[in-house]
Amino acid sequence: MRVILTKPFAPSHQRMLVTVPVGLLYLASYVRRFHTEIKIDILDPDIFSGTFDEFIHAIVQKKPDIIGISVFSHVLNPTKRMVSILKEMVPKSNIVVGGPHINSVREKALTQLPNAEFGICGEGEKGLLEFCRQLFSDGMVVSPEAIPGLVYRSDSKVFNTQNTYNDNLDEFDPLDFELININDYFSMGSPMGLFRQGNHVAQIITTRGCPFPCTFCASPLNMGKKVRKRSTMSIANEIENIISLGGDEIHVMDDNFTLDRDHVISLCKEIFSRQINISFCMPNGVRLDWLDEEMLVWMKKAGWYHLGFGIEVGSDEALKNIRKGITMAEIKGKIAMVKKTGFTTTGFFILGLPHDNLDTMRETAGTPDKLGLDMASFGNYTPLPGTQIYDKLIKEGEIEEEYLPSFSSGEITYSPKGISKHQLVKIQRNIVFKYWLHPRRIKLILSRLKFRDIVYVIRRLYLIIFRPKSDE
């Protein structure tokens, strides 16, 4: 039996970041460990140099029995096209969809993707393994109730079994890096936060889950609300393995890496005691309210040099609106502590939230300098299925029931009341240009940006200036 794991194809001009496909790698590694007789491949369109048709052909020629596709909400329409074509060209293949969008809509996924036979929700490793076992043994799914998180059809109805979240994350380790050519990612990967110290960046995940109620975020839907962590030894071993493969920088992609201070300090002490020499960065951001000085000192000793923070907005009132659970005074104090410890910093901000108007967005634009941040990112707000704001906007009639985010990274598909999408484009563009054209930021870019990453900057500017439509 042959299994292909992949993602929707994106045109090269829309590929903002090329990162190690950690999620697919976990799935493939787990299945391969327990079912060595199953041939499993990861085909990543982000490192594929050909056209969409050539990518489809690369899948078809392997004659897969199972095609697993990881789906984000903003690529639902391209996924529909991809699934439809694959079903026509490999009609005997079982197409299984998973990922953040499927977690958000669950049973609705098979209505939105009628040519997919199955979906898998929640933590996918155990669900995919049992799915493969049943198909391998019986040629079909004979006991859907035994597959965690399975979305399936029966008698023209769609059902969803209970998904599970594993407390013992070490069960999913180690990752089998033989399943990918990691040098492809080292050579093509762009920095998650614009700057990096290393030349060969890899991504890792040390915890899963998010307990926080932020109204705009879908993280708890994807990996549950309970935060679970890998053991110190497992993480340190993976880092050493990445170094042996040529890696010289690690980007930790956790949603809540610093939530458990013992987890952080234990890992840092282990890295320090093993004399592991590698740079670490937190491009996903960490919760400022959970940082303390001892934790930061140990992170610095272990090789961390840069931290990102999801600050999002520019006032206490706006922080309450999105249920962030922190005040601007607390944020400013924590950032001062981080800077004192020797880290560079980035703040992530959102423009065009439902409560926004021109004044609040100007307030957000001025917040990075007030907080003393080194850098800032200003993204447009996009309603994500399953989030509190998304449900509220549908209830109030601001977006349609079938609203989907844009496939194109620079395209704005939602704007708050009183502001048109065209106006929001101009507002965001002006804020970004004014911020980054400041002499201090230009100097920072020239001093720290690696030549290879100029392409990344050009793509970002291209999307902000021209707002290309998607190629759906």
pLDDT digits (tens, 9 = 90+) for 270-298: 999 999 999 999 988 899 999 999 999 99
Structural domain contains residue 314: yes
| 142 — pLDDT class (breaks 50, 70, 90) | very high
Which CATH number characterizes residue 231's domain? 3.20.20.70
| 464 — pLDDT class (breaks 50, 70, 90) | low
| 151 & 221 share domain | no
Q: What is the pLDDT of residue 244?
A: 98
Asked whether residue 403 carries a pLDDT value surpassing 80, the answer given is yes
Number of domains present in the structure of the chain: 2
Structural domain including 202 reads 191-466
Structural domain contains residue 186: no
Q: What is the pLDDT of residue 75?
A: 87
| 21 & 143 share domain | yes
Which CATH number characterizes residue 71's domain? 3.40.50.280
| 392 & 438 share domain | yes
Structural domain contains residue 167: no
Structural domain contains residue 412: yes
Structural domain contains residue 169: no
Q: What is the pLDDT of residue 252?
A: 97
pLDDT tens column, 294-330: 999 999 999 999 999 999 999 999 999 999 999 999 9
Kindly report the pTM of this predicted structure: 0.94
Q: What does pLDDT average to over the chain?
A: 92
Q: In the numeric block, which tokens belong to residue 71?
A: 């789906």
Structural domain contains residue 179: no
Which residues, in sequence order, are CB contacts of 67 under 8 Å at separation 6+? 3, 4, 6, 59, 86, 90, 93, 94, 95, 96
Mean pLDDT, residues 177-191 taken together: 90
Mean pLDDT, residues 359-373 taken together: 97
| 307 & 452 share domain | yes
| 152 & 291 share domain | no
Asked whether residue 360 carries a pLDDT value surpassing 60, the answer given is yes
Mean pLDDT, residues 399-406 taken together: 85
| 121 — pLDDT class (breaks 50, 70, 90) | very high
Q: Are 390 and 384 in contact (CB under 8 A)?
A: yes
| 61 & 151 share domain | yes
Which residues, in sequence order, are CB contacts of 68 under 8 Å at separation 6+? 3, 4, 5, 6, 27, 96, 97, 98, 120, 128
Asked whether residue 471 carries a pLDDT value surpassing 80, the answer given is no
Q: What is the pLDDT of residue 472?
A: 47
pLDDT tens column, 56-100: 999 999 999 999 999 999 889 899 999 999 999 999 999 999 999
| 220 & 314 share domain | yes
| 354 & 287 share domain | yes
pLDDT tens column, 228-253: 999 999 999 999 999 999 999 999 99
Asked whether residue 457 carries a pLDDT value surpassing 80, the answer given is no
- Of 6-15, 70-79, 99-108, 443-452, least confident by mean pLDDT is 6-15
Mean pLDDT, residues 199-209 taken together: 96
| 418 — pLDDT class (breaks 50, 70, 90) | very high
- Of 47-51, 157-161, 168-172, 321-325, least confident by mean pLDDT is 47-51
Residue at a domain's end among 160, 175, 201: 160
- Of 118-127, 289-298, 441-450, least confident by mean pLDDT is 441-450
| 206 & 58 share domain | no
| 254 & 296 share domain | yes
Q: What is the pLDDT of residue 233?
A: 98
| 324 & 379 share domain | yes
| 150 & 107 share domain | yes
**CB 440: neighbour CB atoms within 10 A?**
8
Q: What is the pLDDT of residue 243?
A: 98
